[in-house]
Amino acid sequence: MLRHAFVSFLLTATGVAAQNSTTSYDYVVVGSGPGGAPLAANLARAGHSVLLLEAGDDQANNPNISQIANFNPAASDETTRWDFWTKHSDDPERELKYEHMVWRQKDGSFYTGLDPPAGAEQLGIWYPRTGTLGGCAMHNGGVCSLPSDDDWNDIAKLTGDKSWKAENMRKHFVKLEKNEYLEPGAPGHGFDGWVSTILAGTDWATEDVDVTTIMKKIVNATGGDPSQLPELAKKDVNAPDPNRDQDTGVNGMAIHATSQGLRSGTNSYLKATLADAAKYPLTIQLESLATKILFSKGTAEPKAIGVEYLKGKSLYSGDPRYKASAKGPVGQVFAKKEVIIAGGAFNSPQILKLSGIGPAAELKKFNIPVVKDLPGVGENLADNYEGYVLGLADKPLTGLSMTSVSVFLKTPTAPKHRNIHAWCGPLSFEGFWPGFPHEYGPTEWECPFVHMNPRSQAGYVHLKSADPRDTPDINLKFFETGEDKDLTEMLDAVKTFRKAFQSVTAPIGPFDELHPCPGKNQDCSDAAIKETLKLQAHSHHATSTCAIGAADDEMAVLDSEFRVRGVKNLRVVDASAFPKVPGAFPVCPTFMISEKASEVILAAAKA
């Protein structure tokens, strides 16, 4: 058996560091996020030896990470975060109009805003990801809302693979879910899975407090009956209702967390699997930055046989603790069956390209030998647009302990089904920048919203160099196509929520609106709101950079079983695989495709 030339340290069932001499496993999985973690655990639970490589460490005992309510500090926590600096367009002047543009000052600190000090270096638009065991499921808001049935059925039509149809994908959700807010046996839900789901608190809905008064105005503005608010706040957002995708108004908000408020999913499932090491042969190797995929030599078709990595702490330049002088020793691990990449929408295309899989011209630019020319790798970057209506009440609000509810809209020009997923409450969320959010105190009220199924997905993830420690060049290219239609739909959402705000009377109102039309009792033109939305839209749900596609689509990277086209024993299982963003929040859909991939891979292993 092959052995390391150096000692590596692994996470074991007891959590104690142990020496490892094994470098050959049935499967090697790169990345422990919503795609990689469940897949690694499932393969190990089926009896296969699995090595899971994670570039970060384990922060499960860090309350910023473990407690779902701390998602704001989680995104800013230096022990877990990776900083990506992105663009929204190719227009430098448009970029400089983004209110939360980030700059590096001469003293090394960040400046965020429109008037940077002299000598500051423009970094870009902050897009935080995570480098920790569990991936981005350890810093997100935890919203577990399933996409429309069409989002699954479209993949089935695209590929001709009926297993992607919505009724089949629901089975994967039932398998993974451990529902804690419905009576056991409720249809369309699971109660024995590895992801606990809870409903955001609803006790406030029956109380005589300001936030309830405001929420009733939102119910009214969205076509509901305000007297039904207590029932609406508990409404199952993931019910298998045939009319679900057309249903609008207030719903409950499902969260992937336990009733104790702890994050549930990636990290917790891995730990549960490690707890029975004798039965489940899972090995987790932390602080191991994958640098390239290894291929067999002398075969007609490329065949993945392993992964090369750097061993050490904070070796990726996105880590705020990164030091360019740090050099990690090189290690290699080998897969007897398959290599599975699950680094997410930014890092999966990066590692494929560093390994020689991607657009040939780009690879040759950096002197990377071409293993497989796949022009779609790193292209088709998609993301939802996010906007918001934010204002300050005329007095401090009572009932501030409430949590958000989901609010769905179907705007007049929506092509098929509801297209806006909002959440309203006493909060301020205006996008991401170091140190976010702005806190406006006990008078703040906001309805942030996600515009689902945007018409444009022209973004890209390109290499900056052949150095695997460099972050890539990321341009989301917002509104590249379908600009007016998407902005019109977002405008309609803004109008609905502004109507609700403006209907709140004294002593709570009138609201002093901060966005998009600053001032009390202010109005502004449709054109002005659209311009604000275009310039200030933000996002946090990147997908599709290694997209599944039709057999005759040259831009497709994967087939319907997650296999990289033209390469043996190599798959990609994460949000980069979606042909488009699934619904409003991709985390639970990514859990679902991880379950699907597990089923596909285990079936292949038996064949």
State how far the alpha carbon of 572 is from the alpha carbons of 375, 557, 583, 601, in Å.
16, 9, 20, 12
**Rg for the chain, CA atoms, rounded:** 24
- Beta strand 570-572 with 330-341: parallel, antiparallel or unpaired? parallel
Tokens of 528: 């002005």
Residue type, 351: I
Annotated binding site for FAD: 140-143
What is the rounded CA–CA span in Å between residue 558 and residue 572? 8
Q: Is 194 helix (H, G, I), strand (E, B) or coil?
A: coil
Q: Enumerate residues 6+ apart whose C-beta is below 8 A from 4.
A: 20, 21, 23, 331
215 bridge partner residues: none
What is the rounded CA–CA span in Å between residue 427 and residue 447? 8
Tokens of 518: 């600053």
CB atoms within 10 A of CB 117: 11
Q: Residue 136 carries which DSSP code?
A: G
Q: Is 61 exposed, middle or buried (0-12, 13-18, 19+ CB in 10 A)?
A: exposed
Nearest to 379 by CA among 567, 542, 569: 542
Q: Where are the alpha helices (DSSP H) in 222-265?
A: 229-233
CB atoms within 10 A of CB 21: 10
143 bridge partner residues: 255
Q: Are 536 and 99 within 8 A, CB to CB?
A: yes
- Beta strand 372-373 with 357-358: parallel, antiparallel or unpaired? parallel
340 bridge partner residues: 29, 571
Q: Enumerate residues 6+ apart whose C-beta is below 8 A from 309.
A: 53, 288, 289, 290, 291, 330, 331, 332, 333
CA atoms within 13 A on the CB side of 102: 20
What is the rounded CA–CA span in Å between residue 230 and residue 233? 5
Q: Are 370 and 396 within 8 A, CB to CB?
A: no
Residue type, 296: S
Q: Are 434 and 126 within 8 A, CB to CB?
A: yes
CB atoms within 10 A of CB 536: 19
Annotated binding site: 140-143
User: What is the distance in angstroms between the CA of the first residue and the CA of the last residue of the chain?
Assistant: 26
Q: Residue 561 carries which DSSP code?
A: T
Q: Are 543 and 580 within 8 A, CB to CB?
A: yes
